[in-house]
Amino acid sequence: MTATTALDALLAGIATTPDAHSLFADVSARLRRIAPFDAAVWVATDPVNGLTTAPARVENLHEGGCGIYWESEFFAEHVNLFRDLALAKVPVAGLREVTGDRPTSSPLYRGFMRPRGLDDELRAVFRVGGQPWGQLSLFRERGRPPFRAEDIALVHTICTPMAQRLRAFARPGATPPSALAAAPGLLLFGAGGELLSLNDEARELLAEMPPGPATQTPLGIDLPLPVWILSTAGRARLTGTASRIRVRTTAGRWLVCHATCLRDTEGRTGTTALVIEQAKPAEVAELIVAAYELTPRELQVTELVAHGLPTADIAARLFLSPHTVRDHLKSIFDKVGVTSRGELVAKLFTEHREPLAAAATVRVLDVAS
């Protein structure tokens, strides 16, 4: 198979893979045949803040020291920060290339890569519409050639298609998920990042988490903690600022995980609390809107349709002609794959039984006015 044929097959696979976990596995296998690597980390990210969320896939990296990798993004002296790549003209870079073949300037190289015999890293951010939907690390072992310009160009080719596919997975499922735990889940972590305790609701919600790398808890229970939970709590602990991500569970529901440092009566930090609860409609509005590639004006029309307004009233509310509203509705129907207002509301709001209003509506009103 030629390189061109292999790339075509890779791009075709990205467009047809049914879920994010399979996407990472399939693309990794295909990419390895074109640009060999020895280990990899594939993760989805929250498009608002770029933080690690579910799912994640780690290949050929043994346990121990993973905290150094996951926490490296929190320290400004690190080289090739994902948050910097997310804003770069080309969101892909090799460690040796960026450092002028002096990788020891990277704390990640010194503390994580070199002890494991890894000699170079290629990082990429999967972004579309200015938002990061995923990220990638590829590693080559000592004795292998470093990543070169052709490797960077190849990975750059898949960045936008990967982001588009990850974004599409935010669309609501065909059937509503079952009832959720009545109370939020709560986990408490110690000063060293160790899990101290958790409530029964947290156990129930953790059991719904998608597959991915995880760490066993020290509490004597068979309950692994996913890396996106550990990294969210770790960011709050290490930076002293609140940390928040959204996660799609195996049941199809959206959860929000937010962590914050707790202080004692003298203002000292030590314990980190992480809460897991069902996401409110406004917290997933922008994800669903992005998944269907609706414009700000189309979201406004969709909101008013969900509130039951007829075409004439929507036109008056938005200072549009009825003909323009009908044009917007046709575009919305085509994008969402429905043929009626009832189907539109049912498909977008199956999981969240109220319209995607609140913060998202305010945001797009500002943009569209």
| Residues 180-204: tens digit of each pLDDT | 666 899 999 998 888 999 999 999 9
Gap between the Cα atoms of 244 and 345, Å rounded: 28
Q: What is the pLDDT of residue 218?
A: 65
Grade residue 367 by pLDDT with cuts at 50, 70 and 90. very low
Q: Tell me which of 281 and 17 has the higher pLDDT.
A: 17
Q: How sure is the predictor about 78, in pLDDT bands with cuts at 50, 70 and 90?
A: confident
DSSP 129: T
Q: How is the beta sheet containing 185-189 ordered, strand by strand?
A: 195-198, 185-189, 269-278, 254-263, 243-248
pLDDT of residue 315: 96
At 132, the amino acid letter reads P
pLDDT of residue 3: 67
d(C-alpha 256, C-alpha 244), whole Å: 7
Q: Which amino acid is at 54?
A: A
CA nearest neighbour of 198 among 185, 182, 184? 185
Alpha-carbon distance of 349 to 19, in angstroms, equals: 20
- Rounded CA gap, 249 and 24, in Å? 17
What pLDDT does residue 180 have?
62
User: What are the tokens at 46?
Assistant: 């929250």
The number of helix segments (H) and strand segments (E) in the chain equals 15, 12
pLDDT at 84 (0 to 100) = 92
Above 60 in pLDDT, residue 270? yes
Question: Three-state SS for 123?
Answer: strand
* Residue 342 parent element (H or E): helix 341-348
**pLDDT grade for 353, boundaries at 50, 70 and 90:** very low
**Predicted TM-score (pTM) of this structure:** 0.82
